[in-house]
Every structure is written in C-alpha cells, then in structure tokens.
Amino acid sequence: MGRWAKLGRRGYLAALAAPIAISSQLCFSQQVMDASTQDVEALSELSLESLMDIDVTSVSKKKEKLQEAPAAIEVLTQEDLQKSGVRSLPEALRLVPGVEVQQLDRNRWAVSIRGFNGAFTDKLLVLLDGRTLYTPLFGGTFWNQQIVPMENIDRIEVIRGPGATLWGANAVNGVINIITKSARDTQGGLVKTIYGTHDLETVLRYGLQIGDDAWLRVHGNWFHRDDFADDSGNDFHDDWNAVEGGARLDWAVSDVDSLTVIADGYRGRAEQRSLRSSLTAPYAAVFDDRIRIAGANILARWTRELGGDGSFTLQAYWDHTVRKEPVLAHRLDTFDVDFQHRLQLAEDNELIWGIGYRLLSDNTDGSATISFEPAARNDQVFSAFVQDDLELIEDRLHLILGSKFEHNDYSGFEIQPGLRLLWTPSAKTTVWGAVSRAVKVPQRADQDLTVLSGTTFLPGVPPIVARLSGTHRVRTEELVAYELGWRFRPEDNLSLQLSFFYNDYEHLSTNELGTPIPDPGGALIAPASFGNAAKGETYGFEVSAEWRPLPQWTLSASYSFLDVEIHERGSTDPLAEDAEGASPHHRAHFRSSLDITDDLTFSALVFWNDSIPNRDIPSLLRIDLNLIWSPWEDFTIAAGVRNLLDDRHPEFEDILGRGRSEIERSFYISAEYRF
C-alpha cells in the first residue's frame, strides 16, 4: 500500500474516478393531477398572496396551497422561465432557491439538493408529467437527454429534503417535479426562434379543440448549442444539438372523468471530451467523443372524481431511451403502471394510498474500457404507499403519517416511513416539521460494472491503471432526516420562508482498494470494488424572501448554508471524504423583475457561490440580464446577456480527468409570434 500513499488525493482523483458514480434507487412514478394553469399574463398580475395560494401536488400527491404545504417547497412558474430567458432544464433549476446547479460543459450539469453534487448525482428524483427521468445504470439523470421546450412548462415544483415516503427510493435529498401545460391552456399557434452567440433554436406549437370537451396540442423543437472553450481558449468539443416533437391530448370525458395522453420523441447528439484508460501503451489518451441520444415515450392518465372529496388516478407509461457512446451503448425500456386512491375517512381524516409496478428492461454493449455483466437485464419493482392526514385541531394542526413500501431486485424489501406536523396559527403563518427515512438502493453499476477508470504515471513504477468492479455485497444507503420550516406573509406584497435540516447518512458508497496486480500489457492493475464503509451528516438552512414594493416590480432573494461531514469506517478509499468539499458552503441568489411599461420588462438575475475546494473552483459571481418587449399583442422580442461580468469561468470539474470547460459569456435575441 506504500505506492498508494504516493498518489495523494489529486493523483487518486484521476486514477480511480469511475465514469459512473454508482448506486441508486428505483422509484415509482408520480400521479400528477394537473392543477389548472394560468398564463404568464395572469400570473404577472397576481399578488404574492395569490401566488402563495397556487396549488401544488408534489408534497402530498394531492392539490394543496403552496402556503400550507408541509415541506420546503419552491415553485418556478412560466413567468419566471420567460423573464429569465433560460433554454434548458438545469438552467431553469438554477433559478430555484436551494438547488445547486453547476455546469460542467456545454451539455453536462451537476445538479443536487443539500449536498453530494457531481456529474452523476444519485440522490435526487426528477419527474416530468408523472414519468421518472431515470437511468438504472447509476440511478440519476442524464441532463443532456432531457429535452423540453420551456414554452410548454406550466411550473416546476421543487422539494428540498426527502420525499421517499410517497415517491420511493430515488427521493433521498429532494424531488424535482416538472409539470407541462395542458392542451386546453395552449390553444392557437406559437412560433419562436432564438439566435445567440452560442445558441440557435426554433420552437413550433399549435393547439386546437377537437370536440366539445377535448383539446390537442402538437409541437416541435430544434436547437444547436455551440462549443465552450477550455482554460486555454480552445474549443472543448462539447457542442449539443437535438430535434424533439410531441403531442398532448386532454379530454374531459364526463363530469367526473378526465383523460390525459402525452407522447414525445427526440433524437440528437452531444460532443464530449473523455480520458480513456487501457492496459496497453499508451495506457491513457484523450478522445473527443460523439454521443448519440434518442428516445420515445407515451403516457396515459385517467382520473375520476368521487363523491365526498375523493378521487382515484390510474396512470401507465412506456419510455424507450437509447444512448450510444464509443465505449458503451445502452438501451432501456421502462414499463410503469400506478394506481392512487384518495378518500375522506372522516371530516378530519383524509387517506391517500396507492400501488405500482415497474419493469426496467435494459441492454448494454460494452468495450474493453467499460462493460456490464450480464449485458442485458430485466429488473422489477413492486411498490405501495399509504399516507394519513389527521386534523388534530380544526384549521390549525395536522399530523401526517405515511410510508412507502418497495421490493426491488437488488436489495429486496425497503420501508421508508415519514412523519410531518403542520401548524397554521393564522392564514399568514405556517410552521412545519418532519422526520423521515429514505434509502438509496444499489443499482446496475454497483453489481454488474467493470471499468478502467483512470491511469496514474509515477516515476520508477509501471503505469497504474485503476479497475473498478461491481459486487453483490453493496448495501443500501440510508438517510434519517430532520426538518423544521416556517412560512410567513406579513403583508400581501411580502413573503418569507425559512427551513432548517439535519441529515444522518449510514452506509455511504465507497470504492475499496485491493492489492495491485501486474498485467501482461506492462501496467499495474489497481483493483477496487464498491463498498459502504462511510457515514456522514449534512446540516444547514435556507432562507428566501419575495417582495413587491410596487405592483409592477418584484424582488426576490435567497441564501443557503450547507455543511457536509463524512466519516470513514475502516475504508481504504482516499476519496471517501470527497463530498465534504464538493459543494459550496454558502450560496446566494437575487432576482429583480420590473415592468417598465405595459409592453417592456427588464429582469436581472444575480448568483453567488462560495468556492468549491475539492474541485479547485473559486467563488463565483454571475449576473444575467434580460429585456422583453411586446410591440404588438401577439408578438414579443427578447434580448439578454448571460455571465455579464467575465469572458468565461469554470463552474465545476468532475473527477474523470476530462479537463475543464469554461462557461462563456453569451448574448441572445429571440422573437415569438402567437396566433
């Protein structure tokens, strides 16, 4: 082990960073009951009091007022998206207080909530209209494979903290629920084109009524995102383009029945710089790879309203994704069906329960660099949940108890209970607290992966090639979370939120080292396997405020503090404590939106992040500016600048040895016509 000591922390980052940050959780799909949507014009005229009364569905799987939701939840509206000028889901999430978004290059992001951020974040559940954006390879989200026109989004609901009691084993640190507009709310045509220093995009959409109570929307979207630069000013070979299209049907079948059908398809490519290792000379080389992405999905959801404030929802979807990289091709088919029933047991007691089934059928085509054994696999998840909302004091105090029960093919039976208290001493004040358990179950990579994950060159010794392998000994990661929150609306034009959290993690994933083995090709193989020899705690708080000093002027600000403590328990992994310095301790966010006239709006967004020590990223201050002008009722022109303060800067660096892309200043102009 003396040679391992010579590597040091930074050397080992290159030697043992696996291209798949392993382990994750199978989770069940959401039953989203679409709340009635408002167009941007209506939202902009609402008071903060009305905005806090917008219905959300992510916290309790039912409609409830944002002000009264017993969790740290934020809502990003269509108005927020339009005024910011963002063109991708990760950039939209940057607007949400408490969400950590760091861009690695033109088409890759690190997105997390409350720590453990990285290119392969695996403790965050992301849903789109009830469909989980999930890969069973590592249990996270490929953000460059999520292509959604911003114009179709109604709102994005973000829960900071565990949501596993209802959503299952992916919802460890948070839930991101993206809800698109109904076809009824997107009638007529839309044509939008965007031109920028790094962006070209066109969006087409048309909605029509096809019966007395049925509405249809079709849309298409094409974009090209140009390369960013590396730290020397050369192209990083990370451009990204795709074409996407889809349709949505919303049908009020009867007074009590409604049906929604959503279908989408896409195809594209993303450039990516990669460092590949091999057991023969030259043992390591940098390649500019091309990733091919494609997919199609269809979802159907039937909802029936029952007497006595009850309802049930039956949802099913099929999702097909293809991802082809030079070292690994992956094809996945997901079949999912869920049933949910809400009923009023008594005047002060509401029960929600549901059952579900998911089949994941995937196939891989590996290489000498990375492979899975077996190459193809079918995995099943059976689940059920129940949640009881008991009103202890009328209109004042609620006790909410529930649990998720799942059986998966990796860790067997899992239970994820939760308890929440909701106290509303007045219509303007909400206090809530929660204790919950969440798990991250092993995934494909934990058991089936073999990867040459890095090469280190030291004087006087053969090249050291790290080989990381899966094992069936990997355990479930466990979290017990404690949360306390407060919402206060002292005036109709002022809203405040504060939340505290303490998370206690057990059996955190580690990479355990073995004894180096000589290889006939001339290298030393450094074997490692997955383990769970670490534990940790995270704690912190988030505070946000929104104020409308004038009806036409909105100001919002937020600040979050995070501390991560990781403890080794006999681990041989020199990166076991890496998560301690992989997220900034301090982050702040400020937004200002001013309607200068009825036709002209100016928005400014300010983001500040503390330094990220373990990625050698300095503190960052970023300013984005946007101007929107509507010279005619159905025609809008927008222009903006991103990263106003500097030519380019790094935001994050993964530990795969790919080098570092720098996020460049960019300008854009767009034109939108509705008919």
What CATH number is associated with residue 299?
Answer: 2.40.170.20
479/507 Cα distance (integer angstroms): 9
Length of the chain as a residue count: 675
> pTM for the full model?
0.90
- Structural domain including 258 reads 2-674
Nearest to 164 by CA among 124, 112, 119: 124
Nearest to 83 by CA among 529, 533, 578, 630: 630
Q: 438 pairs with which residues across the strands?
A: 479
**Residue 321 tokens, joined:** 């994704």
157/533 Cα distance (integer angstroms): 34
Nearest to 341 by CA among 350, 328, 330, 332: 350
387/405 Cα distance (integer angstroms): 12
Average pLDDT value for residue range 8-37:
34
23/532 Cα distance (integer angstroms): 10
- Which one has a higher pLDDT value, 453 or 538? 538
Spatial neighbors of 105 by CB under 8 A, at least 6 apart, are 228, 236, 238, 272, 273, 661
Q: What is the largest CA-CA distance in the chain?
A: 80
At 49 the pLDDT is 53
Using alpha carbons only, what angle is made at residue 430 by residues 428 and 431, rounded to the nearest 5 degrees? 150
Q: Indicate the residue type of 119.
A: A
> What backbone phi and psi angles, to 5 degrees, belong to 334?
-115, 125
Spatial neighbors of 95 by CB under 8 A, at least 6 apart, are 76, 80, 81, 84, 86, 589, 591, 605
At 308 the pLDDT is 76
User: What pLDDT digit, counting tens, does each position of 131-142 carry?
Assistant: 999 888 888 999
At 16 the pLDDT is 35
545/363 Cα distance (integer angstroms): 47
Omega prior to 442 cis, within 30 of 0:
no
Strands 124-128 and 174-180: parallel
Average pLDDT value for residue range 329-342:
97
User: What pLDDT digit, counting tens, does each position of 365-397 carry?
Assistant: 999 999 999 999 999 999 999 999 999 999 899
Contact 339, 312 (CB under 8 A): yes
Contact 277, 453 (CB under 8 A): yes
Q: 270 pairs with which residues across the strands?
A: 240, 291
> Cβ atoms within 10 A of the Cβ of 321, count?
21
pLDDT for 657 beyond 70: no
Contact 69, 63 (CB under 8 A): no
577/581 Cα distance (integer angstroms): 8
426/404 Cα distance (integer angstroms): 32
3 state SS for 87-141: CCHHHHHCCCCCEEEEECCCCCEEEEECCCCCCCCCCEEEEECCEECCCCCCCCC
pLDDT bin (cut points 50, 70, 90) of residue 50 is: low
Spatial neighbors of 561 by CB under 8 A, at least 6 apart, are 540, 541, 542, 585, 586
Average pLDDT value for residue range 85-96:
93
Average pLDDT value for residue range 69-81:
92
114/94 Cα distance (integer angstroms): 14
Q: In sequence order, what DSSP letters do the residues of 241-275 get, joined into one string? A: EEEEEEEEEEE--SSSEEEEEEEEEEEEEEEEEEE
Q: 334 pairs with which residues across the strands?
A: 319, 360
* Mean per-residue pLDDT over the chain, rounded: 89
pLDDT for 1 beyond 50: no
Spatial neighbors of 230 by CB under 8 A, at least 6 apart, are 236, 659, 660, 661, 662
Spatial neighbors of 491 by CB under 8 A, at least 6 apart, are none
User: What pLDDT digit, counting tens, does each position of 178-206 carry?
Assistant: 999 999 999 999 999 999 998 999 999 99
At 66 the pLDDT is 86
b vs e for 374-413, b when ≥16 Cβ sit within 10 Å of the residue's Cβ? eeebebebebebbbebebeeeeeebebebbbbbebebbee
Nearest to 622 by CA among 578, 582, 588, 579: 588
User: What pLDDT digit, counting tens, does each position of 255-282 carry?
Assistant: 999 999 999 999 999 999 888 899 999 9
Average pLDDT value for residue range 343-360:
94
At 626 the pLDDT is 97
At 40 the pLDDT is 36
What percentage of the chain reaches a pLDDT higher than 70? 92
pLDDT bin (cut points 50, 70, 90) of residue 11 is: very low
pLDDT for 538 beyond 70: yes
What percentage of the chain reaches a pLDDT higher than 90? 73
pLDDT for 585 beyond 80: yes
**Residue 194 tokens, joined:** 């965007």
**Structurally, how many domains does the chain consist of?**
1
**474 DSSP assignment:** -
**Residue 70 tokens, joined:** 């017993």
pLDDT for 325 beyond 60: yes
pLDDT for 37 beyond 80: no
**Residue 597 tokens, joined:** 């006239």
> Cβ atoms within 10 A of the Cβ of 211, count?
9
User: What pLDDT digit, counting tens, does each position of 471-506 carry?
Assistant: 999 999 999 999 999 999 999 899 999 999 999 999
**71 DSSP assignment:** S
Average pLDDT value for residue range 111-128:
92
pLDDT for 5 beyond 50: no
pLDDT for 341 beyond 60: yes
**Residue 179 tokens, joined:** 């809800």
pLDDT for 408 beyond 60: yes
